[in-house]
Amino acid sequence: MSTAVPEAPVLPDATRSPIELPEPTGGIDKETLRQLMQPSLWRWSVRVAGDWLLIVIPMLIAGYTHHWAAYIAAVIFAGVGQHRLAIMAHEGTHRQITRNKLLNDFLTGFFCLWPFGNPVGGYRRFHFVHHRHLNTEADCELHQKAKSAPAWDLPATRWTVLKYFVRDVCLLHVVELMRLSHRVRPGTGWTDGSLPNLWLLTAAGLLLWFGQWWVIIVWYLGTAMVFWPTFRLRVWSEHVGTDEAHRISAPWYLRLWVVPHNTWCHYEHHHYPQVPCWNLPRVRELMGDSPPVVPFSSIFERIENAPPVKSGSTMPVAAVE
């Protein structure tokens, strides 16, 4: 087992999907798979609009009432909405919005990635390396975990998970968020790298012009105090303690918050990365019961009983068989 993870390689073409057409497994035939892989501007737009409303409505209430409780609620909902938007950015990265590449990337950036200061091409390059090199020394997510050591060391108790969650809320690990955001930069070109800055400068200028400077504070507090702790909690349920991806189920309240937009089907996503999130539950039905689906809460038992693995190290296959 390796304990050092080198820099992940940059894909020569960051616009390609990691898999052209995955081989069907379980009860999925190729024609069904092609139907499930169809993008949908409508389905994506409805989800993104709902996520933005989750952010904007509490801010409007806070701005109208000027009550401290309303501002706290605005921070919380801003972070929850941002986390949901990040998932929809992921869908756009896989070009699940439209086959028109320019429109797909513009919508992904304008509504989901540029508000975080992140370029579309840069994030796509980072994410596709993860898909191509899952649980290998070239996996860029392992490289990020190595930089955060000992945060992802195994075994990890429930107390460890809770401890990091509370510390994240208290802004004690915000540097990890900054490292992750920096990792997807620069963009794949001058335009890709500049558009997020243009979006942020324009938004900040408009808010300052209209005297709504407090929105900027609420937005970034939501990112640091809610988005990041939630993001870390979700990451525990994806690849930590396994050589592939956990196959989990989650109750409705976790689906709204920790694993939104069907990210509880992360196992299915890695097997069929070109299927949009709204079709992943159908993929799960067609794939069958192997490997078995386990409750979200069981992940913590798995990582508590995992063999010793340092943050950023590959998970030995024998340890999870």
Please write the tens of the pLDDT for every residue from 96-128: 999 999 999 999 999 999 999 999 999 999 999
Q: Is the pLDDT of residue 245 over 70?
A: yes
| pLDDT tens readout for residues 144-187 | 999 999 999 999 999 999 999 999 999 998 888 888 888 777 67
DSSP tag of 197:
H
- Which candidate, 129, 132, 139, 150, places its Cα nearest to that of 6? 139
Looking at residue 7, what is its pLDDT? 44
Distance CA 36, CA 24 (A): 12
Looking at residue 26, what is its pLDDT? 57
Looking at residue 14, what is its pLDDT? 41
Let me know if 205 is exposed, middle or buried by CB neighbors in 10 A (0-12, 13-18, 19+): exposed
Q: What is the pTM of this model?
A: 0.90
Percentage of the chain modeled with pLDDT above 70 = 90
| Omega of the bond leading into 291 within 30 degrees of 0 (cis) | yes
Give the residue extent of every domain in the chain: 30-319
What is the average per-residue pLDDT within 242-257? 95
Tokens of 34: 């092609």
- What does each C-alpha distance from 142 to 5, 91, 160 come to in angstroms? 7, 21, 19
Tokens of 315: 């998970």
Distance CA 264, CA 143 (A): 23
Looking at residue 188, what is its pLDDT? 82
What is the average per-residue pLDDT within 178-207? 89
